[in-house]
Amino acid sequence: MNVYDSEMFKKVLRPLGYIPVDEVEDADLVIVNTCTVRKKAEEKAFSFLGRMRALKKKNPELIVAIGGCVAQQEGSAILRRMPYVDLVFGTRAYARLAAMVEKFEYDRIPVVDVEMTMGITDATPIPELDAEVEVSRFVTIMRGCDNFCSYCIVPYVRGREESRDPDAIVQEVRDLVERGAREVTLLGQNVNSYGKKEGLCDFPELLRRVSEVEGLARIRFATSHPKDLSPGLVAAYRDLPKLCNHIHLPVQSGSNAVLKKMKRKYTREDYMQRIENLKAVRPDIALTSDMIVGFPGETEADFDATLDLVREVGFSGIFAFKYSDRPHAPAAKFEGKVSEEDKTRRLAKLLDLETELSEKRNISYAGTTVEVLVDGHKEVKGVFQWTGRSSCNRVVNFTEAGKPTDGNLVGKVVPVYIETGLPHSLRGVLR
């Protein structure tokens, strides 16, 4: 979502004459777009901002802006802590960003805008001047979250759920496809509740409408909350060939006691049922998940239940995180905090299991042919390779051995025979 928002910053600042540069040292304006979902992300943002101090010393004209979730969370406190920051703008302020920059250029008085009141403008971040866009693009369909999982800061820094108009979304996808995109990932904190509040069409209907866009090859989405995975969404997997053979369905924990304290509103059994429903229509669907280890009160038995669930589901990939206290999130005040040592050990164990499962799954693709959407190329030890992703979201590197195509494959969906499954990618040859 931050990638999408950053594209929007570029677009709104272009009329003022700002264009992206490759090196931060060459910039007249630096925007640090931040994430605060976990403590580590916030620390990274502050350490990067720290580097801006030296830059500003060298070039006092430099404008330093901080946007996104950390800006939303800290507001004007950032100016006190880091006096070299000029602009602080929150998660819903991008429509006002150009005006903020213009004002600052004029009077050099720092500006803070963390207003949450403004809804989504239907501006799209597609660059107006650039002829082509990447093969795979994000499209935000909704912002904010109403779920209030007990560990999570998102509802506080991204605000309440708001869905964009479906016509505007479909138009944005059409425009992207016209500029060269072949795949879109529809983004929202909880895509399943798309449109409900506003009485717009529901998420499966939106998928249907997007899938009718001619020239679009693939649709992905993130993120679906397991509690809301509806029969309608399962039907979309059954009916829409453009919908990729993958779902990212964050379970967070395999222990019912922990899930309850997390306020996830489903049990392990509910989760397994949802997966069965999906497998009934897509038997080979690839499943990935987010996991938190060391949630307050998590016992060894709870953690074992997580390992057990990971094995039972056979995830093909996991993003696992050590629990960290976040401001506003109720779990920050929960008893039974798990020691750093235990969190580190549990994380390592979970990640080992993930590597094992991912490799196992990748090896199972060897000897099969997968459809790859080509997104680029690289040279490895003097050998030219195309790169792309399979429908099940595996990274695939392949050569043209014996079948040189003199054309550019980027943006094309091509069959690739998989020779080797590696821990985190597949290697093959063009069929």
- Burial (CB < 10 A; 0-12, 13-18, 19+), residue 405, is exposed
For Cα atoms 163, 240, 143, give the angle at the middle one, nearest 5 degrees. Answer: 15
- Burial (CB < 10 A; 0-12, 13-18, 19+), residue 86, is buried
Q: Which is nearer to ligand 5AD, 79 or 357 (CB)?
A: 357
Residue 268 contact, options ligand SF4, ligand 5AD, none, Cβ 5-8 Å cut-off depending on partner type? none
CB-based contact 202:196 (threshold 8 Å)? yes
The distance of closest approach from Cβ of residue 41 to ligand SF4 in the complex, given in angstroms and rounded to an integer, is 13
Question: With CB under 6 A as the contact rule, which of the stretches 43-51, 146-154, 361-369, 396-404 interacts with ligand SF4?
Answer: 146-154
Question: With CB under 6 A as the contact rule, which of the stretches 15-23, 66-74, 118-126, 323-331 interacts with ligand 5AD?
Answer: 323-331
CA 196 to CA 208: how far, in whole Å?
16
Question: With CB under 6 A as the contact rule, which of the stretches 53-61, 98-106, 110-118, 149-157 interacts with ligand SF4?
Answer: 149-157
Q: Which of 77, 122, 148, 383 binds ligand SF4 (CB under 6 A)?
A: 148
**By CB under 6 A, is residue 250 in contact with ligand 5AD?**
yes
The distance of closest approach from Cβ of residue 42 to ligand 5AD in the complex, given in angstroms and rounded to an integer, is 11
Residue count of the chain:
431
Interacting residues with ligand 5AD between 115 and 174 (CB under 6 A): 151-152
**By CB under 6 A, is residue 177 in contact with ligand SF4?**
no
Of 276, 224, 220, 213, nearest in space to 243 by CA? 220
**By CB under 6 A, is residue 292 in contact with ligand 5AD?**
yes
Q: Which of 4, 6, 14, 37 binds ligand 5AD (CB under 6 A)?
A: 37
Question: Please, what sign has the CA dihedral across residues 390, 395, 400, 406?
Answer: positive
**By CB under 6 A, is residue 323 in contact with ligand 5AD?**
yes
> 119: how many CB neighbours lie within 10 A of its CB?
13
Minimal CB distance residue for ligand 5AD: 290
Q: Which is nearer to ligand SF4, 192 or 390 (CB)?
A: 192
Q: Which of 9, 27, 33, 38 binds ligand 5AD (CB under 6 A)?
A: 38
Of 112, 65, 70, 72, nearest in space to 92 by CA? 72
**By CB under 6 A, is residue 389 in contact with ligand SF4?**
no
Q: Which is nearer to ligand 5AD, 315 or 365 (CB)?
A: 315
CA 67 to CA 71: how far, in whole Å?
5
Residue 324 contact, options ligand 5AD, ligand SF4, none, Cβ 5-8 Å cut-off depending on partner type? ligand 5AD
> 214: how many CB neighbours lie within 10 A of its CB?
6
> Kind and range of the H or E element at 356?
helix 340-365
Interacting residues with ligand SF4 between 267 and 326 (CB under 6 A): none
Q: Which residues pair with 190 in a beta bridge?
A: none
Residue 248 contact, options ligand SF4, ligand 5AD, none, Cβ 5-8 Å cut-off depending on partner type? none
The distance of closest approach from Cβ of residue 91 to ligand SF4 in the complex, given in angstroms and rounded to an integer, is 12
Termini Cα distance of the chain? 35
**By CB under 6 A, is residue 149 in contact with ligand SF4?**
yes
The distance of closest approach from Cβ of residue 4 to ligand 5AD in the complex, given in angstroms and rounded to an integer, is 15
Q: Which of 91, 140, 185, 190 binds ligand SF4 (CB under 6 A)?
A: 190
Question: With CB under 6 A as the contact rule, which of the stretches 5-13, 162-170, 322-330, 348-356 interacts with ligand 5AD?
Answer: 322-330
Residue 321 contact, options ligand 5AD, ligand SF4, none, Cβ 5-8 Å cut-off depending on partner type? ligand 5AD
Q: Which tokens go with 269?
A: 């059994």
Q: Which tokens go with 314?
A: 């056979």
Q: Which tokens go with 321?
A: 């995180």
Residue 155 contact, options ligand 5AD, ligand SF4, none, Cβ 5-8 Å cut-off depending on partner type? ligand SF4
CA 219 to CA 239: how far, in whole Å?
13
CA 67 to CA 50: how far, in whole Å?
15
Query: Helix, strand, or coil here: 404?
Result: coil
Question: With CB under 6 A as the contact rule, which of the stretches 202-210, 258-266, 318-326, 388-396 interacts with ligand 5AD?
Answer: 318-326
Question: Please, what sign has the CA dihedral across residues 6, 11, 13, 14?
Answer: positive
Interacting residues with ligand SF4 between 220 and 239 (CB under 6 A): 225
Q: Which residues pair with 319 in a beta bridge?
A: 290
Q: Which tokens go with 53?
A: 């101090």
Enter the DSSP assignment of 54: H
Rounded to the nearest angstrom, the gap between the alpha carbon of residue 49 and the centroid of all alpha carbons in its chain is: 22
Binding residues (CB under 6 A) for ligand SF4: these are 145, 147-149, 152, 154-155, 189-190, 225
Binding residues (CB under 6 A) for ligand 5AD: these are 37-38, 151-152, 250, 252, 290, 292, 321, 323-324, 326
